[in-house]
Structure 1
Amino acid sequence: MTADMGSTLRELRQASGKEAKAVARSAAMSPSKLSRIETGKLSPSVMDADRILTALGVSDEVRAGLIEVARREATEAIAWRSYRRTGLHHHQDAIRAVESDTTVQRVFQPSCIPGLCQTPEYIRAILDRKELTEDIVTRTVAARLHRQSALFDSTRSFRYLITESVLRWRLLSPPEMAVQLDRLTTLSRLPNVWLGIVPLSAPMSEVSTSSFIVYDSRLVIVEIPHAEITTTEPKDIELYRAKFDNFELSAIVGDAMRNMIEGIRDEFLKEQETAWNRRPESA
């Protein structure tokens, strides 16, 4: 079946008149990877198929059918070690390609600041815990920062739900955490960015288990400690949309949300000031 999927993608590309290099570039993958997919040597993941079909500009009907084929064939859970082996910066490019074709992105994040809202220091703090080489860390930080330009595209909408614990989780020094929270407050004022915070004191009807991202109504990515799970199954998408909506009911938004962020920011700054005042005076 893999060969059939690959040959179908190749035939669609040839019918479109587009060169393989151009399609690979638009799909944020190497020409060699596209070649392996087209020749049946590599089974495309759901994300691979989605990006290729987007680059080809096929109809919604054709796209839905082939995505379903890819969904049945592909391994839905891809271990993080696989991304580390091929280069996390390449995975950032792949995510950017999916984001570029998304009108509304919904993110629920109970463990860290959402990627498009992270400062360079915050990104590096996360990556430094993954035992990566300095070169890969630097390239991945740059790739994620490049993705953040999407926030300033007024034709797209971003809806973020995070838990209060995310604001307090100390991945950086107090002053660096204060800078990160300031950035979050600033981004929350963009007209196409909606931010809600689920406070620890709120009664909950859902269990906060894993972070997930919903791309329109066509794709969901779920992040668990050892892998990233991708699904295009309508019932799965409906499940995560419902979870997002339920968490949203408990969220603090608008000025109250910004007041909460600023209050926690001030706690970090006060902590830093106290630490400085406790330093012994130099002789």
Structure 2
Amino acid sequence: MIKSSLGSALRELRECSGLEAKAVARGAAMSRSKLSKIENGNAAPSVTDVDCILTAIGVSDEVKAEYMAAAREAATEATAWRLIRRLGYSRKQQQVQALESQTTLLRLFQPSLIPGLLQTPEYIRAVFARRDLTESQLERTIGARLARQNILYSEGKTFRFIITESVLRWRILPPLMMVGQLDRLISISRLPDVDIRIIALSTPQTDFPGHSFSIKDDRTVTVETVHAEMVVTDPRDISLYASKFEGFSGTAVSGGEMRALIEGIRDEILREQETD
């Protein structure tokens, strides 16, 4: 399939399915106008766009594989945060939710913030309040991110999180709210299909954190930089991220040792609060 014809091919798929454009756009968590631009060749769809559209149409695995291969001809895509802001952070959360629903194994490395799937409402508010949203936009974004978290309780999925200890000490919340966030990590870590690991600051390392990234099965890697979100789809690059993830996993603490580390940090914050 020629990439330039991908939009019209997606339109033909939709029309053959009997679905209206507005229904597919809603299922793909995008505006009707964006879908129209993609189908008419006026906008190049990203790998994420194609994945969401195909999922909304409900094509077979074989057809999806063919179309996704065409979309992945451009191995790395970058979308500036200003464009995501224009789309709407709440709609972006819905797009991510759609992709996560199609993912069996999610691996996420985070050296900067508590991962979104593990955040409390207060933490989510603190993250997005720095992006000059109206109160209405902020509430919708918080709700959309909280809705994503339901996937942690789904059967047949595995979640692996690696977080650096510095993230747990980064005070973007008042002390008691941060304690609540740490308690949530401890609680979620007891779910059967959730593996949370912490890289202790005292552990000798041979690698460097760099930046956060998430790996969805072995299909895509999402990387967040200061100015943009990048989606990596080249298998050779995905393997590099997978190798880095496993390297950090081997040096991180898990289970009871991980919970003891979090509890220690939580207790430090509580003692500081008592002496203020």
TM-score (structure 2 length as normaliser): 0.94
Query: What is the identity, as a one-letter code, of the residue corresponding to 1:81?
Result: R
Q: Report what 1:159 is aligned to.
A: 160
Question: C-alpha separation between the residues in 2 aligned to 1:268 and 1:131?
Answer: 29
Task: Identify which range, 1-10 or 111-120, moves more after superposition.
Answer: 1-10
Query: What is the identity, as a one-letter code, of the residue corresponding to 1:62?
Result: V
Q: What whole-Å deviation, never above 9, does each CA across 1:69-94 have from its counterpart, x for those lacking one?
A: 32335971111111112211111111
Question: C-alpha separation between the residues in 2 aligned to 1:32 and 1:94?
Answer: 16
Higher Cα Rg, which structure? 1
Q: Report what 1:118 is aligned to.
A: 119
Question: C-alpha separation between the residues in 1 aligned to 2:146 and 2:174?
Answer: 21
Q: Which runs of 5+ in 1 are unaligned?
A: 276-283
Alignment of 1:36-75 (within 5 A): 36-72=37-73
Q: Report what 1:186 is aligned to.
A: 187
Aligned residues: 275
Q: Report what 1:244 is aligned to.
A: 245
Task: Identify which range, 59-68 or 94-103, moves more after superposition.
Answer: 59-68
Question: C-alpha separation between the residues in 2 aligned to 1:133 and 1:71?
Answer: 36
Q: Report what 1:128 is aligned to.
A: 129
Q: Report what 1:84 is aligned to.
A: 85
Q: Secondary structure at the match of 2:38?
A: helix
Q: What whole-Å deviation, never above 9, does each CA across 1:125-149 have from its counterpart, x for those lacking one?
A: 1112222222222211111011111
Report deviation, 1:63: 2.7
1:225 maps onto 2:239 in alignment: no
Contact kept in structure 2, 1:6 and 1:37, CA below 8 Å:
yes
Q: Report what 2:141 is aligned to.
A: 140
Query: What is the identity, as a one-letter code, of the residue corresponding to 2:100?
Result: E
Q: Report what 1:9 is aligned to.
A: 10
Question: C-alpha separation between the residues in 1 aligned to 2:240 and 2:75?
Answer: 21
Give RMSD over aligned pairs: 1.7
Q: Secondary structure at the match of 2:133?
A: coil
Q: Secondary structure at the match of 2:73?
A: helix
Q: Secondary structure at the match of 2:41?
A: coil
Contact kept in structure 2, 1:161 and 1:195, CA below 8 Å:
yes
Contact kept in structure 1, 2:14 and 2:21, CA below 8 Å:
yes
TM-score (structure 1 length as normaliser): 0.92
Report deviation, 1:197: 0.5
Q: Report what 1:278 is aligned to.
A: none
Report deviation, 1:2: 6.2
Question: C-alpha separation between the residues in 2 aligned to 1:74 and 1:134?
Answer: 37
Query: What is the identity, as a one-letter code, of the residue corresponding to 2:213?
Result: F
Task: Identify which range, 255-264 or 73-82, moves more after superposition.
Answer: 73-82
Question: C-alpha separation between the residues in 1 aligned to 2:208 and 2:64?
Answer: 34
Question: C-alpha separation between the residues in 1 aligned to 2:265 and 2:154?
Answer: 29
